[in-house]
Amino acid sequence: MTQTKKYDFRIVQDKETWTGQITRRQSARKIVVSKSQKGFATEAEAVAWGETELKSFLENLVKRNERKAKAREERNKAADEKELAADAWRSARDEKADSNNDFDEDNLDYGSDAER
């Protein structure tokens, strides 16, 4: 299995101008262009743009991933706290129901019969 980069850049010549593209490997066979810039006079200019844009693109991606990870942690923490509160409420409800249960198996007299 070959190891390829998820993000890379490529240079494409279109007649007399060059185009720089930031690419993303979507699957093993499909590559998607994430960002593109047309109109470079030389290949060297397009390569320089590709290198700098790829670097800034990846830095922005790292920052975005960190923000999303932080939001995910907060969301998971809130969900865990909510589940703990629900468990505490359920256990308190069950304890209350058990303490109110005055059923005596040995005494077969029902409350309504005893009042008569």
| Contact status, residue 4 vs residue 25, Cβ threshold 8 Å | yes
Instruction: Give the closest residue to 12 by CA, choosing from 21, 24, 22.
Output: 21
In-domain check, residue 1: no
In-domain check, residue 94: yes
In-domain check, residue 16: yes
In-domain check, residue 25: yes
Count of domains for the chain: 1
In-domain check, residue 114: no
In-domain check, residue 37: yes
pLDDT digits (tens, 9 = 90+) for 34-44: 999 999 999 99
pLDDT digits (tens, 9 = 90+) for 61-73: 999 999 999 999 9
In-domain check, residue 45: yes
**Enclosing domain of residue 23:** 7-99
pLDDT digits (tens, 9 = 90+) for 17-28: 999 999 999 998
In whole angstroms, what is the distance from residue 22 CA to residue 106 CA? 81
pLDDT at 87: 92
Report angle CA 30, 53, 66 to the nearest 5 degrees: 80
In-domain check, residue 110: no
pLDDT at 106: 63
